[in-house]
Amino acid sequence: MDFWTDEAFAEISFLKNLLSPLRMDQGTRGPPHELGLRQFSSPSEKMLAAVLLVPLGLSPLTMSRHEYFISEMATATTPPALGAAAALLEARGEHILDPLPEASMHPLVIPLTRSASTGAVTGLLRWPGADGALGRELPLVRTCSDADKAHQLTWLAPNPAQWVRRENELAAAAAEDGSEEAVEEAAALAALASAVGLAPASSGKQTGKGPAARVILKVGPFMGEYETLAHGHLEAGSTEAALITCERNSGLFPAWGRPLAFHSRVLAQMGRDEEARDVARQALALPLWTLGDSVAEICEIAQQTTDELFETLTLKANGKLTAAELRQQNGMEKRTPQVMSHLSPPLKSPLIVFAAATFVRPRLMRHSQLFSVPHRSSSAQLYEQEIAKESASYTMDLVVARPEEKEWSHVRSLVADLYQAAEMDAVAALITNVKQEEGDK
């Protein structure tokens, strides 16, 4: 019997009667009765039994404070399955946080939970320029706890619902080995996903694929799964397939430096140093907190020093062009509003976005590659807003480039002022709304 088929669910009434004594034996909480699961031979039969026996402890949480904060403070739309994601994170030992962030947190993250072991915060990313009224999604992200990735974010999913679906798919794949612990976890996740109306997980028999491929095929693209596939191609000796996978990953996530950083490492491992250098420089040209890797090591692949990177970021944070950019423009400032407006419409094709991120000047792509710039009658005003928006982004980069010297609390006020100057009031308000220290109350 395959757990995920309609025929399996048709037998639920029969199994409920069969398992009634076990339900009475186990009570309302606790894991499925061990003797009960042992009565079933196949992993799929054990899974169905576990679903019927699983306690109601893992159910979506009520997130009224977060919903209010997202709507009123972040002027965005609460993503589906937020309560389910929070429940799963809490079940894994994380603590629910108040949506009002601490000043030391990433300025664009709405906190959700904190890991008791690492201190990493999982939350929602409020992209500058995203408009909740237009259905823009709030990606689920996690702060990096590694010292060499200080102040950076790890992309987890495009939204909480997709993350729950991914975890459900991976749990179902793990349960196919028949271990009771894996079956119990998969059953709990299946029940949680069902409670918020998410599609059930697939089975290996249906897809004939491994867990990473199953997630991509049945749920959607994820950076981690593409990296897993690339590693698998490398281990099998298929370097061309690995590079194609890396390029696909970068094309699907053009605003994030992590896929490019991973791609540069793969190229460097192959001894293709010039290509690795160019890809690493593309990664460093995107918001540095999206790198998901050691800044120093990616700088080494890019054949530049961290001091050179910091100097470049300082110039751009001050609204200036680098010496190389000035040489390209014969020593003159040519960042006209007309040039910037050509990049302002959203680029819908991932392939076009990747090509633009590769060949168009990175400082213009930083904000315009995903979100359109509101039309302004005054070209001078548009020019000033673009410069302010870029300065805010590069100011945040400085914190990532020198984590031993800088904290988010040091630049939060300045970044908010810059977004205010860019007429991005919602983003500025989100950055300004933080918990007050005891001494400030």
Asked which of 220-234, 235-249, 372-386 is least confident by mean pLDDT, the reply is 372-386
CA distance 356 to 362: 9
Q: pLDDT > 90: what percent of the chain? A: 60
User: Which string of b and e fits 54-72 if b means at least 16 CB within 10 Å?
Assistant: bbeebebbebeebeebbee
What's the mean per-residue pLDDT of the chain?
80
Whether 399 shows a pLDDT value over 60: the answer reads: yes
Task: With CA atoms as reference, report the closest residue to 44 among 176, 151, 149.
Answer: 176
Mean pLDDT of 322-351: 53
Task: With CA atoms as reference, report the closest residue to 392 among 108, 117, 193, 164.
Answer: 108
pLDDT at residue number 383 = 78
Banded model confidence at residue 386, pLDDT cuts 50, 70, 90:
confident
Q: Kindly state the tokens that stand for 359.
A: 């060949």
Q: For residue range 261-279, what is the model confidence (pLDDT) as tens digits? A: 999 999 999 999 999 999 9
Mean pLDDT of 321-330: 80
Task: With CA atoms as reference, report the closest residue to 302 among 282, 331, 330, 324.
Answer: 282
Q: Is the pTM of this model over 0.85?
A: no
Q: For residue range 130-162, what is the model confidence (pLDDT) as tens digits? A: 443 334 679 999 999 999 999 999 999 999 999
Contact predicate 347/319, CB 8 Å: no
Banded model confidence at residue 323, pLDDT cuts 50, 70, 90:
confident
Task: With CA atoms as reference, report the closest residue to 34 among 48, 18, 50, 52.
Answer: 50
CA distance 57 to 55: 5
CA distance 433 to 201: 39
Q: Between the CA of residue 81 and those of 62, 85, 159, 199, what are the distances in Å?
A: 10, 6, 9, 12
- How far from chain centre, in Å, is Cα 405? 26
Task: List the chain domain ranges.
Answer: 6-55+163-220, 224-406
